[in-house]
Structure 1
């Protein structure tokens, strides 16, 4: 099946201008055009577009994605390069996930903190609490000298 830029964009949940930009930046070397120059996306192109979308969402630069796509187009001689690119991006995503987990932990702590303060009617409730009175998994966020956060 052949898709227009709008149809392909809709399937990927991106704007048509995003796909046009990717094409302009050389990320779609596989893309065919009609005799009148209209971009034609085939079913097999969609997996390439999903890979590009994945790499973009993981924070890879357009330049990095272009390099990866160029390696793919070169064929089997670049398998080692592609493996290294994917491994590096995977490591980056793992680090991003760890950072996001730390942010989520802090937000969970703050939700607990303010819910506890709300229930008590004041943030000063923490002034009389010993560090041991805080849930163990939130103690790392507590500055014993200043419990009013």
Structure 2
């Protein structure tokens, strides 16, 4: 059975605009077009639209999906390459997950701080407060990573920049 783009939209919940865009980028190489330019999708094309939607949802670029489609034409011969593409995407998602976990840790630390602030009425983690106290970076991976980045940046600076920053840090710690 052949489906028009509107029928594919109804069956997949993927907008016809998105389907047309993907088609213009070559993501449906087997879709047939009649003399009036109307695209007709087969059941396989419809299922492929769902896979494209999935790959887009996990952050795969249109170029990578197009490459994946080209490789899939070779069947088993290209399985290693296609698996590698999926593994690369998985690695990107795992890295993003780590970043999000660290961000959640930082947000939880800030929420704990505000709970304490509301209980005690002291704003000691506010750099603008005279009683400022640096939060313990070991309690939050994201904050610890920021401190590490700052130290790396500090090490890479020119000597005169380092000296002026050291003075500023020393002054800040003494205050």
Provide TM-score, normalisation by structure 2. Answer: 0.62
CA offset at residue 61 of structure 1? 1.7
Flag as ranges the 4+ runs of structure 1 deviating above 6 A: 128-131
8 A Cα contact 2:105 2:141, kept in partner: no
| 1:49-94 deviation per Cα after TM superposition (whole angstroms, max 9, x unaligned) | 2221222222222111100011112322211211111111111111
Give the aligned length. 142
Q: What's the CA shift for 1:40? A: 2.6
Give the SS at the match of 1:59: coil
Q: Report what 2:106 is aligned to.
A: 106
Residues in 2 aligned to 1:25 and 1:117: alpha-carbon distance in whole angstroms: 54
TM (norm. structure 1) is 0.71
Q: Which has the higher contact order (CA 8 A, sep 6+)?
A: 1
Partner residue in 2 for 1:89: 89
**Quick check: 2:32–2:40 contact (8 Å CA) kept in 1?**
yes
Structure 1 stretches of 5 or more lacking a match? none
Structure 2 unaligned spans of 5+? 148-168
Distance 2:42 2:112 in 1: 50
Query: Would the alpha carbon gap of residues 2 and 123 (structure 1) be closer, same or farther in structure 2, given more than 3 Å must change?
Result: farther
Query: How large is the RMSD of aligned CA atoms in angstroms?
Result: 3.4
